[in-house]
């Protein structure tokens, strides 16, 4: 039951229309009240938080080793189908960039290259 409500809200959120989302939440609360199921609301919120956390983890992102590489990284990522506005700086990449989005990963960082060389050398 909680899953069904959560999924319903998830679909509403996907519309990305704040007015429509607010209306959906209001209608859900009214429905829960009339059905005597207000106790389910905290569980629905927890489920939505989980969904949000999962979406956050899977959101498209571009990381660069240095800020100066941002422009090139964003252009290259967009060419691979991963479009974001900003890149975050991750010094552990050493050099280069990596992008994630829509289940895909493009990794052009020096860290990844060095790890591959290391793994090949010890294999």
| Size of residue set near another protein by CB under 8 A | 25
Considering the complex, state which of residue 12 and residue 108 has its C-beta at the smaller distance from another protein. 108
Considering the complex, state which of residue 54 and residue 68 has its C-beta at the smaller distance from another protein. 54
Q: How far is CA 72 from CA 67, 86, 106, in A?
A: 10, 12, 14
Q: What DSSP element (H or E) covers 86?
A: none
Considering the complex, state which of residue 70 and residue 107 has its C-beta at the smaller distance from another protein. 107
Give dist(CA 16, CA 24) in Å, integer.
Answer: 12
Q: What DSSP element (H or E) covers 31?
A: helix 18-35
106 scored as a contact of another protein (CB under 8 A): yes
Q: Is 58 helix (H, G, I), strand (E, B) or coil?
A: helix
Give dist(CA 79, CA 83) in Å, integer.
Answer: 8
Considering the complex, state which of residue 32 and residue 51 has its C-beta at the smaller distance from another protein. 51
The residue with tokens 């489920």 is 47
Applying CB under 8 A, which of residues 35, 39, 57, 85 lies at the interface with another protein? 57
83 scored as a contact of another protein (CB under 8 A): no
Is 5 in contact with 29 (CB distance < 8 Å)?
Answer: no
Applying CB under 8 A, which of residues 19, 35, 39, 92 lies at the interface with another protein? 92
* Least distance from another protein to the Cβ atom of residue 104, Å: 4
Applying CB under 8 A, which of residues 31, 54, 67, 68 lies at the interface with another protein? 54
């Amino acid at each position: 039951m909680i899953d069904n409500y959560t999924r319903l809200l998830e679909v509403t959120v996907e519309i990305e229309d704040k007015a429509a989302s607010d209306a959906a939440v209001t209608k859900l609360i009214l429905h829960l009240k009339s059905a005597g199921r207000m106790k389910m609301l905290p569980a629905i919120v927890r489920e939505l938080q989980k969904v949000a956390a999962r979406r956050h983890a899977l959101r498209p992102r571009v990381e660069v080793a240095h800020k100066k590489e941002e422009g090139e990284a964003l252009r290259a990522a967009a060419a691979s189908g991963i479009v974001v506005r900003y890149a975050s700086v991750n010094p552990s990449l050493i050099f280069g960039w990596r992008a994630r989005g829509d289940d895909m990963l493009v990794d052009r960082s020096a860290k990844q290259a060095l790890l591959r060389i290391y793994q090949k050398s010890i294999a």
